A and B are shown apart, each in its own frame.
Chain A
Amino acid sequence: SQTIHQWPATLVQPVGSPLSLECTVEGTSNPNLYWYRQAAGRGLQLLFYSVGIGQISSEVPQNLSASRPQDRQFILSSKKLLLSDSGFYLCACGQTLQETQYFGPGTRLLVL
């Protein structure tokens, strides 16, 4: 079964600083990969998904970007963080866009 790793677990960054969150997947090949953001006590907002290396679909316009340099690596980035970027970021993988997704442990980002 697949395992999703995310790091760091917690991150405190100043406004205007860059961001790089990494997600790696084990135990599966050619997965669909997802980045979600969850505000405190809320549901999940899909930010990006990828069906293959170099293929990124963006769900919402924002100052974040994603990249997939390898089959099982998904990176979430920003050049300049905003206060509104604070939240809980979850990486997930699945075999199709509508089937079961498996989630990583998440990264809690606080932008001050």
Chain B
Amino acid sequence: SQQGEEDPQALSIQEGENATMNCSYKTSINNLQWYRQNSGRGLVHLILIRSNEREKHSGRLRVTLDTSKKSSSLLITASRAADTASYFCATGYNDMRFGAGTRLTVKP
């Protein structure tokens, strides 16, 4: 069964704007991960944040984790058309469970 739930399901923005996606989960986690999937392709790992971390950066990506609210957010700054993809969160505990994803469209 799925663990994380992403919000919104779809997001459309203009190039240069920031994109924020949220993930909520229900049970304990050891880590939370974000993945990206271009249409018809496999998933690519973006970033992993552990349960004792609150924020993590990687290039234009910023991930936050609030274990008290059981939620995480992924911020993509200065978005580009090439960022158009689906983004999934996955929670790790005894195993890893993926959410249904947010479809991000960045218009040039």
Interface residues of A (CB under 8 A from B): 4, 36, 41-44, 46, 49, 88, 90, 92, 94, 97-106, 108
User: Smallest distance from the beta carbon of B7 to chain A beta carbons, Å?
Assistant: 13
A42–B100 CB distance below 8 A: yes
Number of B interface residues, CB 8 Å? 24
Determine the main DSSP class of B at the interface with A: strand
B77 within 8 Å of A by Cβ?
no
Kindly list 16 other residue pairs between chains A and B, CB separation below 8 angstroms, not including A43-B88, A92-B42, A106-B40: A43-B98, A46-B95, A88-B40, A90-B42, A94-B96, A97-B92, A98-B31, A98-B93, A98-B94, A100-B45, A103-B42, A103-B43, A104-B42, A105-B42, A106-B41, A108-B40
| Chain A to chain B contacts (Cβ below 8 Å), 20 pairs | A4-B42, A36-B98, A42-B100, A43-B88, A44-B43, A44-B98, A49-B95, A88-B40, A90-B42, A92-B42, A98-B31, A98-B94, A98-B95, A100-B48, A101-B43, A101-B45, A101-B96, A105-B42, A106-B40, A108-B40
Instruction: Please name the 9 residue pairs, one residue from A and one from B, whose CB atoms are nearest each other, closest first.
Output: A98-B92, A103-B42, A43-B100, A44-B98, A103-B43, A97-B95, A100-B45, A105-B42, A43-B98
User: Smallest distance from the beta carbon of B72 to chain A beta carbons, Å?
Assistant: 15
